[in-house]
Amino acid sequence: MALLTILHYPDKRLHKVAKPVLAVDDRIRKLAEDMAQTMYEAPGVGLAATQVDVHERVVVIDVSEEKNDLRVLINPEIIFHSEDQNTYEEGCLSVPGVYDEVDRPARVRVRALNLEGKSYEFEADGLLAVCVQHEIDHLNGKVFVQHLSMLKQTRLKARLRKEQRELERV
Protein backbone atom coordinates (compact mmCIF):
# COMPACT_ATOMS: atom_id res chain seq x y z
CA MET A 1 0.00 0.00 0.00
CA ALA A 2 1.09 3.55 -0.69
CA LEU A 3 -0.10 6.95 0.37
CA LEU A 4 -1.10 9.05 -2.62
CA THR A 5 -0.78 12.82 -3.03
CA ILE A 6 -4.11 14.62 -2.85
CA LEU A 7 -4.57 17.52 -5.28
CA HIS A 8 -5.69 20.81 -3.73
CA TYR A 9 -8.22 23.23 -5.13
CA PRO A 10 -7.95 25.28 -7.36
CA ASP A 11 -5.67 22.78 -9.20
CA LYS A 12 -7.04 22.49 -12.74
CA ARG A 13 -6.61 18.68 -12.72
CA LEU A 14 -9.55 18.49 -10.27
CA HIS A 15 -11.79 19.57 -13.15
CA LYS A 16 -10.90 16.72 -15.52
CA VAL A 17 -13.76 14.33 -16.17
CA ALA A 18 -12.79 10.76 -15.26
CA LYS A 19 -13.02 8.00 -17.85
CA PRO A 20 -14.88 4.74 -17.17
CA VAL A 21 -12.85 1.80 -15.92
CA LEU A 22 -12.78 -0.74 -18.75
CA ALA A 23 -11.56 -3.72 -16.70
CA VAL A 24 -11.46 -4.29 -12.95
CA ASP A 25 -7.99 -5.79 -12.67
CA ASP A 26 -5.11 -5.85 -10.19
CA ARG A 27 -4.13 -2.29 -11.12
CA ILE A 28 -7.59 -0.98 -10.21
CA ARG A 29 -7.67 -3.07 -7.01
CA LYS A 30 -4.26 -1.64 -6.02
CA LEU A 31 -5.48 1.88 -6.81
CA ALA A 32 -8.55 1.34 -4.58
CA GLU A 33 -6.36 -0.04 -1.78
CA ASP A 34 -3.98 2.93 -1.99
CA MET A 35 -6.90 5.36 -2.14
CA ALA A 36 -8.46 3.79 0.97
CA GLN A 37 -5.19 4.07 2.89
CA THR A 38 -4.82 7.70 1.77
CA MET A 39 -8.43 8.51 2.77
CA TYR A 40 -8.08 6.94 6.23
CA GLU A 41 -4.72 8.64 6.82
CA ALA A 42 -5.97 12.10 5.75
CA PRO A 43 -8.48 11.52 7.55
CA GLY A 44 -11.59 11.63 5.41
CA VAL A 45 -14.79 9.73 4.65
CA GLY A 46 -14.47 9.62 0.86
CA LEU A 47 -11.94 9.97 -1.92
CA ALA A 48 -12.31 9.99 -5.70
CA ALA A 49 -9.49 8.93 -8.02
CA THR A 50 -9.60 12.41 -9.59
CA GLN A 51 -8.36 13.82 -6.29
CA VAL A 52 -5.16 11.77 -6.56
CA ASP A 53 -4.66 12.70 -10.24
CA VAL A 54 -5.96 9.40 -11.63
CA HIS A 55 -8.76 10.19 -14.04
CA GLU A 56 -10.71 6.95 -13.89
CA ARG A 57 -14.08 6.40 -12.25
CA VAL A 58 -13.07 4.93 -8.88
CA VAL A 59 -14.32 6.06 -5.46
CA VAL A 60 -13.68 4.84 -1.92
CA ILE A 61 -16.04 5.73 0.95
CA ASP A 62 -16.28 4.85 4.63
CA VAL A 63 -18.72 6.89 6.71
CA SER A 64 -18.68 4.48 9.69
CA GLU A 65 -17.52 5.74 13.08
CA GLU A 66 -15.23 2.70 13.45
CA LYS A 67 -13.74 3.09 9.94
CA ASN A 68 -14.52 -0.55 9.17
CA ASP A 69 -17.12 -0.28 6.38
CA LEU A 70 -15.10 0.50 3.27
CA ARG A 71 -17.11 0.80 0.06
CA VAL A 72 -15.36 0.74 -3.30
CA LEU A 73 -17.40 2.11 -6.19
CA ILE A 74 -16.09 1.57 -9.71
CA ASN A 75 -17.94 3.39 -12.50
CA PRO A 76 -20.58 4.63 -10.01
CA GLU A 77 -23.73 6.23 -11.32
CA ILE A 78 -26.76 7.67 -9.57
CA ILE A 79 -29.79 5.94 -11.03
CA PHE A 80 -32.35 7.65 -8.78
CA HIS A 81 -32.40 10.72 -6.59
CA SER A 82 -35.22 11.97 -4.42
CA GLU A 83 -36.96 15.25 -5.08
CA ASP A 84 -36.55 16.27 -1.44
CA GLN A 85 -33.28 17.97 -0.55
CA ASN A 86 -31.08 18.08 2.54
CA THR A 87 -28.58 20.74 3.48
CA TYR A 88 -25.34 19.34 4.83
CA GLU A 89 -22.10 21.02 5.85
CA GLU A 90 -19.48 19.57 3.52
CA GLY A 91 -15.72 19.59 3.56
CA CYS A 92 -13.20 18.08 1.17
CA LEU A 93 -9.71 16.63 1.36
CA SER A 94 -8.91 18.71 -1.75
CA VAL A 95 -10.08 21.91 -0.04
CA PRO A 96 -8.60 21.53 3.46
CA GLY A 97 -10.07 23.66 6.21
CA VAL A 98 -13.07 24.80 4.17
CA TYR A 99 -16.58 23.79 5.18
CA ASP A 100 -19.86 25.10 3.85
CA GLU A 101 -23.47 24.09 3.44
CA VAL A 102 -24.55 22.39 0.20
CA ASP A 103 -28.05 21.32 -0.84
CA ARG A 104 -28.30 17.86 -2.40
CA PRO A 105 -30.99 15.22 -2.92
CA ALA A 106 -31.77 13.54 0.43
CA ARG A 107 -31.75 9.99 -0.99
CA VAL A 108 -30.02 8.33 -3.92
CA ARG A 109 -29.83 4.89 -5.52
CA VAL A 110 -26.39 4.02 -6.89
CA ARG A 111 -25.16 1.40 -9.33
CA ALA A 112 -21.44 0.53 -9.41
CA LEU A 113 -18.98 -2.29 -9.90
CA ASN A 114 -17.21 -3.93 -6.96
CA LEU A 115 -13.58 -5.09 -6.81
CA GLU A 116 -14.54 -8.33 -8.59
CA GLY A 117 -16.09 -6.37 -11.47
CA LYS A 118 -19.63 -7.35 -10.51
CA SER A 119 -22.45 -4.80 -10.72
CA TYR A 120 -24.33 -3.95 -7.54
CA GLU A 121 -26.80 -1.34 -6.33
CA PHE A 122 -27.51 0.31 -3.01
CA GLU A 123 -29.65 3.06 -1.58
CA ALA A 124 -28.21 5.82 0.54
CA ASP A 125 -29.44 8.65 2.71
CA GLY A 126 -27.84 10.91 5.30
CA LEU A 127 -24.07 11.23 5.26
CA LEU A 128 -23.63 8.32 2.84
CA ALA A 129 -25.90 9.99 0.26
CA VAL A 130 -23.98 13.26 0.61
CA CYS A 131 -20.63 11.49 0.32
CA VAL A 132 -21.62 9.48 -2.77
CA GLN A 133 -22.87 12.60 -4.56
CA HIS A 134 -19.80 14.59 -3.51
CA GLU A 135 -17.39 11.93 -4.81
CA ILE A 136 -19.28 11.40 -8.07
CA ASP A 137 -19.09 15.19 -8.55
CA HIS A 138 -15.28 14.80 -8.37
CA LEU A 139 -15.38 12.16 -11.10
CA ASN A 140 -17.35 14.63 -13.21
CA GLY A 141 -14.74 17.35 -12.66
CA LYS A 142 -16.69 19.29 -10.06
CA VAL A 143 -15.48 20.34 -6.60
CA PHE A 144 -18.05 20.98 -3.84
CA VAL A 145 -17.20 24.68 -3.67
CA GLN A 146 -18.72 25.02 -7.14
CA HIS A 147 -22.10 24.55 -5.43
CA LEU A 148 -21.45 27.80 -3.50
CA SER A 149 -22.22 31.34 -4.64
CA MET A 150 -19.81 32.98 -7.09
CA LEU A 151 -18.83 35.49 -4.39
CA LYS A 152 -17.84 32.69 -1.99
CA GLN A 153 -15.95 30.87 -4.76
CA THR A 154 -14.01 34.01 -5.72
CA ARG A 155 -13.08 34.77 -2.11
CA LEU A 156 -12.07 31.16 -1.50
CA LYS A 157 -9.84 31.00 -4.59
CA ALA A 158 -8.12 34.26 -3.62
CA ARG A 159 -7.54 33.05 -0.06
CA LEU A 160 -6.18 29.66 -1.15
CA ARG A 161 -3.85 31.22 -3.75
CA LYS A 162 -2.52 33.61 -1.10
CA GLU A 163 -1.93 30.72 1.33
CA GLN A 164 -0.14 28.78 -1.44
CA ARG A 165 2.15 31.73 -2.22
CA GLU A 166 3.00 32.08 1.48
CA LEU A 167 3.83 28.36 1.70
CA GLU A 168 6.07 28.61 -1.36
CA ARG A 169 8.06 31.43 0.30
CA VAL A 170 8.93 29.25 3.30
By C-alpha distance, which of 57, 65, 60 is closest to 4? 60
Q: Judge whether 138 is annotated as a binding position.
A: yes
CA distance 15 to 143: 8
Q: Is 135 a catalytic residue?
A: yes
- The verdict on whether residue 92 carries a ligand-binding annotation is yes
Query: How far is residue 31's CA from residue 24's CA, in Å, rounded to a whole number?
Result: 11
The answer on whether 81 is annotated among ligand-binding residues is no
Catalytic residue among 135, 163, 166, 168: 135
Cβ atoms of 67 and 40 within 8 Å: the answer is yes
Show the DSSP H helices in 9-141 as ranges.
Answer: 26-41, 126-139
Q: Which residues are annotated as a binding site for Fe cation?
A: 92, 134, 138
Q: Which residues are annotated as a binding site?
A: 92, 134, 138
Which residues are marked as active site?
135
